[in-house]
Structure 1
Amino acid sequence: MKITSLSVKGSSPWNEDAAVRNEDIRLFGVIDGATSLVPFIGRKGETGGVLAARVIEEYLNRVGLDADTSAQGLLQLLLEANELLQKEMELNGIALEQKEELWNACAVIVHITDHWIDYAQAGDCMLIAFYEDNTIRVVTHDQLEQIDQLTFDKWAEGIASGIVQRDELWAYTKPQIIRGRQLANTPGGNGVLNGDPALANYAEYGRISRVGVKAVLLVSDGLYKPKAAGAVKTDGAVELALGVRDMGLKSYVDWLIDLEESDPECVQYPRVKKSDDKTAIYIDLVE
């Protein structure tokens, strides 16, 4: 296997993403932390999103050879990381019953064997497979897509009303963002690692065969191309995969950052920050 990984900080002060490269047991993952809506600052100035990603990443990187790395075992690893996150929040005085205060993280992890690729996922970190016949398979489901779309629609509504400054658009959209956070680990929402044991009912896991698979890609949602207001709905994960396939991972990320820099106030492409953190692991299986 040949492994290429990158993690690029977005426009916020901290990179809230993390990558898992536990190569001894062929365990890989991407984690996307999210800042709590009630501000939190750690001992070194970290946000809750940074600390969430760090807790999960450190746990998964130290998993040993005796771990159960079947698909169901990977789910259990996410649940154990989620429990550690809960304990860390308790130590830092976070009110666990207040979802606006919780540190959050989406995640996707894979274990690669000679015959199978097992995975577990929560939220909008994605697993994509590339096949020898040029087929692209989006293996996981973006659980946040519909919730995010409501946020983008609200942002676009603010632009249509005449708001053109990103800070003002954030304030206009924040009530919708809060409503979205309330849906974490609920039937109408999405799975997310936030210390809530209910994650067990919303995280997904599974297995695909390695037959015909030449590479797999793990990504955080910062690699999605932003969509112009009113644009025809397209499959963002497929667009992302085509970009990585045609340009290469680093060149695609550079191109995307240039696009984001061209719209610093987030009015041409409605989104809540100029540039999100971008983390990806590309695993070439035929090298």
Structure 2
Amino acid sequence: MRILAASEPSKADKLNEDWFSASPNVVVVLDGATARTDTGCVHGVSWYAAQLGASLSAQASDASMTLQAALAAAIEHVANQHQECDLTSPGTPSAAVAVLRRNQSHLEYLVLGDVGIILDADSDLTVIIDDRVDKTAQLERRAADAYPIGSAEKAEALIRMKHAELAARNAPGGFWVAAADPATVDHALIGKVAVDSINRSIVLTDGAARLVRMFNEASWNSMLELLESQGPSEVLRRVRQLELSDPVGFKWPRNKQSDDATIVYIASLV
């Protein structure tokens, strides 16, 4: 088995709000949600993602626990770590989560939020991405996309979009992420596949997935080949190059020029 990983903050002087861990049996990748409003928390998103990721990695290493139970236990653990914060705030720190766990016969997966898992069985790909967040606040998203990145109008539109998103977060008909309530795990995408059917896999945040999902500069198959030949740092380099080529978002409308980006590539599973 080979495991290769890379993670970068959106800018060199910013905290990385992504988090990952990777072992031969458990891969965990988190994407902390950008905070544009008051969170009621003194710790911040990066702290939340790191605390949740560490706890989830430990819980998921117990093969007797389901991945949903492991995530629920981790959410509860982190909530108990900062009870002095207002965990009822609509903007309380949250994160999208993906877990890939290997046992002797199966790969189990869990996805909650827009972190993605790509499973390759002889180029027959299974793509697991929870895109429910993209279906929320659509009017506000389109309004924000009309303004150049860095403008005052863009910043104001993003605040309006964030409020609309938060109204749909962890609510029926909206989208679901890890925050302070363990019950959100009931809405995760879960499944398993035979371990000997999968040759390679990718777990990545939406910042790294931009190469495929936003910029259309690669397919999932060509990303796999790029990862195999040049590694995850090259994927992130190409993402950054494309972001810099369109700094204000005219070609590819988006919320910010660059996003935190994390990718874990696993090859030779058996």
- TM tier relative to shorter chain: 0.7 to 0.9
Give, as a single letter, the amino acid of the residue that structure 2 aligns with 1:181: L
The verdict on how the C-alpha distance between 1:54 and 1:151 changes in structure 2, with shifts beyond 3 A counting, is farther
In structure 2, how many angstroms separate the alpha carbons of the residues matched to 1:150 and 1:262? 27
Q: Which residue does 1:34 correspond to in 2?
A: 33
From 82, 97, 105, the counterpart of 2:88: 97
In structure 2, how many angstroms separate the alpha carbons of the residues matched to 1:226 and 1:285? 24
TM-score (normalizing by structure 1) = 0.81
The verdict on how the C-alpha distance between 1:65 and 1:277 changes in structure 2, with shifts beyond 3 A counting, is closer
From 73, 95, 106, the counterpart of 1:80: 73
The verdict on how the C-alpha distance between 1:252 and 1:66 changes in structure 2, with shifts beyond 3 A counting, is closer
Asked if 1 retains the 8 angstrom alpha-carbon contact of 2:149 and 2:257, the reply is no
Question: For structure 1, which segment, 261-270 or 14-23, has the greater mean C-alpha deviation from structure 2 after superposition?
Answer: 261-270
Q: Determine if the alignment matches structure 1 residue 50 to structure 2 residue 46.
A: yes
Q: Which residue does 1:141 correspond to in 2?
A: 130
Task: Give the drift of 1:105.
Answer: 0.6
Q: Which runs of 4+ in 1 moved over 6 A?
A: 234-238
Give, as a single letter, the amino acid of the residue that structure 2 aligns with 1:258: Q
Q: Classify the secondary structure of the residue corresponding to 1:90.
A: coil
* Identity in percent: 22
Question: For structure 1, which segment, 211-220 or 145-154, has the greater mean C-alpha deviation from structure 2 after superposition?
Answer: 145-154
In structure 2, how many angstroms separate the alpha carbons of the residues matched to 1:223 and 1:236? 11
Structure 1 vs Structure 2 CA RMSD: 2.8
Asked if 2 retains the 8 angstrom alpha-carbon contact of 1:218 and 1:280, the reply is yes
Give, as a single letter, the amino acid of the residue that structure 1 aligns with 2:259: D
Q: Classify the secondary structure of the residue corresponding to 1:144.
A: helix
Task: Give the drift of 1:77.
Answer: 0.8
Report how many residues are paired: 264
In structure 1, how many angstroms separate the alpha carbons of the residues matched to 2:53 and 2:248? 32
In structure 1, how many angstroms separate the alpha carbons of the residues matched to 2:7 and 2:171? 30
Q: Which residue does 2:4 correspond to in 1?
A: 4
Task: Give the drift of 1:4.
Answer: 0.6
In structure 1, how many angstroms separate the alpha carbons of the residues matched to 2:111 and 2:93? 17
In structure 1, how many angstroms separate the alpha carbons of the residues matched to 2:220 and 2:150? 32
From 218, 236, 240, the counterpart of 1:253: 236
Give, as a single letter, the amino acid of the residue that structure 2 aligns with 1:124: D
Asked if 1 retains the 8 angstrom alpha-carbon contact of 2:68 and 2:186, the reply is no
Give, as a single letter, the amino acid of the residue that structure 1 aligns with 2:48: A
In structure 1, how many angstroms separate the alpha carbons of the residues matched to 2:33 and 2:263? 17
Report 1:203-214 matches (<5 A): 203-214=188-199
Give, as a single letter, the amino acid of the residue that structure 2 aligns with 1:32: D
Unaligned runs of 5+ in 2: none
Q: Which residue does 1:123 correspond to in 2?
A: 113
The verdict on how the C-alpha distance between 1:259 and 1:237 changes in structure 2, with shifts beyond 3 A counting, is closer
Give, as a single letter, the amino acid of the residue that structure 1 aligns with 2:135: Q
Asked if 1 retains the 8 angstrom alpha-carbon contact of 2:116 and 2:130, the reply is yes
In structure 2, how many angstroms separate the alpha carbons of the residues matched to 1:135 and 1:175? 40
Q: Which residue does 2:103 correspond to in 1?
A: 113
The verdict on how the C-alpha distance between 1:89 and 1:237 changes in structure 2, with shifts beyond 3 A counting, is farther
The verdict on how the C-alpha distance between 1:274 and 1:140 changes in structure 2, with shifts beyond 3 A counting, is closer
The verdict on how the C-alpha distance between 1:138 and 1:64 changes in structure 2, with shifts beyond 3 A counting, is closer
The verdict on how the C-alpha distance between 1:66 and 1:30 changes in structure 2, with shifts beyond 3 A counting, is closer
Task: Give the drift of 1:49.
Answer: 1.3
The verdict on how the C-alpha distance between 1:226 and 1:266 changes in structure 2, with shifts beyond 3 A counting, is farther
